[in-house]
């Protein structure tokens, strides 16, 4: 699966607005589904676009629990790596908890 997104990333240095592409590969279609994911894009700082805008990648691994017909919950952990801005490169471990609601077709 592939998709895109927008977000808000707040920390002590700045408030950044990520625009990204997200790719996910699921290993099976059971009740509990392991997956590999990767996101990457640009994080915009509208107060200083020229100096504080960053590029990022975020590979991760996780599990998705299919709770009902069109509902699931996911948990993943990954390594966020950013480059650019005042501190040229940063990396840290992150955790994500998600809720997926699919529409009727």
Q: Are strands 32-44 and 89-101 parallel, antiparallel or unpaired?
A: unpaired
Domain that holds residue 31: 2-101
Single out the residue of 63, 9, 88 nearest to residue 41, CA to CA: 9
Q: State both tokens at 19.
A: 């625009």
pLDDT of residue 52: 86
- Tens-digit pLDDT profile for residues 17-45: 999 999 999 988 788 999 999 999 999 99
Residue with tokens 């590979």: 59
Give the pLDDT confidence of 36-77 residue by residue, as tens digits. Answer: 999 999 999 999 888 888 999 999 999 999 888 889 999 999
Total domains, the chain: 1
Alpha helix positions (H), 1-105: 49-52
> What's the pLDDT at 105?
67
Radius of gyration of the chain (CA): 16
Model confidence at 85: pLDDT above 80 = no
> What is the DSSP annotation of 33-54?
EEEEEEEEEEEE-TT-HHHH-E
């Amino acid at each position: 699966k592939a998709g895109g997104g927008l977000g808000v990333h707040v920390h002590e240095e700045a408030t950044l607005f990520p625009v990204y592409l997200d790719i996910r590969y699921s290993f099976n279609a059971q009740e509990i589904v392991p997956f590999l994911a990767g996101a990457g894009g640009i994080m915009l700082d509208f107060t200083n676009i020229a100096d504080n805008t960053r590029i990022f990648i975020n590979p991760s691994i996780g599990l998705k629990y299919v709770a009902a017909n069109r509902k699931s919950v996911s948990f993943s952990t990954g390594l966020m790596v950013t480059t650019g801005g005042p501190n040229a490169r940063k990396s840290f471990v992150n955790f994500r908890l998600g809720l997926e609601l699919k529409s009727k077709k």
